[in-house]
Amino acid sequence: MIVICEECGKKYSIDPLKIKGDMAKFKCKVCDFIITVIKPVETPATSFPKAPFVEPEKEGDVKKTSALKKKNKRKYARTKKTKSFNLKGLGIRSKMLLLFLLIPILLVVTANILYLWQMNTLSSILTSESAEMAKNVAEDKVTSVARNVSAQCKLYLELRPGMKKENFTYDAVFKRIALQKVGMTGYSCIYSVPDDNKPMALWVHPNSKLIGIDLPKAMQKAIGKEYLRWMKVATGAYQGEESKGYYLWKDPDGGLREKFMVCTPVEGTSFIIAATTNLDEFTGPVKLLKLRAKKQTGIIRNTIFGIFGGTILLIGFIVFFYGYRLTGRIKSLTEVSNRISVGELDAKIDIAGKDEIGDLGEAISRMQDSIRLSIERLRRRR
C-alpha cells in the first residue's frame, strides 16, 4: 500500500502484513511528521499482494529530496506563470496598448486628416469662387465703362459732324469724354478702324506719343507674344460687334500683369472705344485673402497636431502606467496562487485595493485559510 505524508507529500510503500495490530506510526524522514497507518481489514474476497518495502531514506538522501522539491516548486511556478500570460499570445498590457492607444491613434489621425482635407478644400473653394466673382465684377465694370463712353462719344460726334479725328486729342471736352478712368489703374481710349490710306491708330490716349501712329506695330513691340491675344480682341469689334478678352501686359520692371479689355464700336462711325484695366486691381484682395487663409490653415494644422501629440502622450502614459500596475498585481496573485498550489500555505498575499483585483486577492486569501484549516482538521481527526 502507498502512504503519503500529509505535510510534505513524501510517498512510502508499506507492506500491510508487517503492521502489528490495527495501526502503526512512523516518522517522516523529510519533515519529521508522524504518519499514522491503519491496517486494512482483509476479507475472503480480498487479498493484498506483497509490495516491496521501501527503506527510509538516509540523511543525505533527505537533503537531496528537499533540494529537489524546492527546485521543482520554482520550476512549476515559472511554468504556470509563463502559461498564464503567454498562452493566448498577447498579455493584458499589450492588449491595453492596442485597444486604448494604437486604435484610438489611428482613428484620431484619420479624423484629423479628413478634417484638414475638408478645411483645405473649403478654403480652396471659397478663394477660387471669390476670385471668379472678382473677375466677373472687373469684367462688368470695364464693359459698363466701354459702353457708356461709346454712347457719349456718339452723341458728341453727332452734334459736331465735321469734327476730324486728328483734332480729337485737342478737344478738351471730347478728350474728357473719351478718356475715362476704369478703377484705379485702367482707362478708356478711342482708335479707328484701318482703311485703305491709314492703319489702325489711336486718337485719344493717356500717352500722347501714341496718337496717330501704327498701333499694331507699337503693340507688337510692347507686349511681344501677347500681341496676338490683344489683336484678336481689338479686331473683333471691326464688324460692329462688341469684343472682349484677356492678355498679359509687360510692366517696366519686367513683370507680367493680366489685363482685361472690352472694345465697343461707336455706332455710325469708324471708331471703337477700348476700355482696359489690370485684373489684379480686383483680384488682388482675393489673393491676399487666399494667402491669409493658407497661413491660417497652417496655424490650425500645427495647433491640431500639437494638441493631438500632447493627447497621445498623455493617453500613452496613462495606459502604460495603469497597465503596468494592473498586470503587476495580476502577476503577484498568480505567483501566490502557484505557491499555494505546491503546498506553501504560508505564502503572503500583499494585494490591497477595493476593486475587482482586490476582491480576487481577498478570495485567494480566504481560500488559503480554508485549505490550512481543512488540513489541520484532517490531522486532528487522524
Strand 181-182 relative to strand 186-192, pairing: antiparallel
67 pLDDT higher than 60: no
- Determine the Cα–Cα distance for residues 276 and 128; give it in Å rounded to an integer: 23
**Lowest mean pLDDT, pick from 45-54, 122-131, 247-256:** 45-54
305 pLDDT higher than 50: yes
Highest mean pLDDT: which range of 170-174, 311-315, 366-370: 170-174
Sorting pLDDT into bands at 50, 70 and 90, what band is 81?
very low
- 40 and 140 share one domain: no
Give the pLDDT of residue 232: 94
The H helix count followed by the E strand count for the chain is 8, 10
Residue 39, all three cell numbers: 491496517
- Determine the Cα–Cα distance for residues 154 and 267; give it in Å rounded to an integer: 7
- The more confidently predicted of residues 291 and 165 is 165
Domain that holds residue 171: 130-287
Give the pLDDT of residue 269: 92
Per-residue model confidence as pLDDT tens digits over 183-232: 888 999 999 998 877 889 999 999 988 999 999 999 998 888 899 999 99
Helices 59-86/280-341 angle, 10° precision: 150
What mean pLDDT comes out for the span 357-376? 85
What mean pLDDT comes out for the span 323-335? 83
Domain boundary among 227, 252, 287: 287
- 158 and 279 share one domain: yes
Give the pLDDT of residue 302: 87
**Is residue 73 within 8 Å of 342, Cβ to Cβ?**
yes
343: left (phi over 0), alpha (psi -120 to 50) or beta: left
**Lowest mean pLDDT, pick from 13-22, 73-82, 169-178:** 73-82
Residue 185 belongs to a domain with what CATH number?
3.30.450.20
Considering the entire predicted model, what is its pTM? Answer: 0.53
- What's the burial of 291, exposed, middle or buried (CB within 10 Å: 0-12/13-18/19+)? exposed
Domain boundary among 33, 53, 73: 53
Per-residue model confidence as pLDDT tens digits over 89-102: 566 767 777 777 78
Sorting pLDDT into bands at 50, 70 and 90, what band is 346?
confident
Tell me if 344 is assigned to some domain.
Answer: no
DSSP output for 2-71: EEE-TTT--EEE--GGG--SSEEEEE-TTT-PEEEEEPPPP-TT--PPP-PPPPPP-HHHHHHHHHHHHH
- 33 and 162 share one domain: no
Tell me if 92 is assigned to some domain.
Answer: no
Query: Which residues, other chains included, contact 104 with Cβ-Cβ below 8 Å and sequence gap of 6+?
Result: 315
Tell me if 317 is assigned to some domain.
Answer: no
Number of domains in the chain: 2
- Determine the Cα–Cα distance for residues 236 and 365; give it in Å rounded to an integer: 102
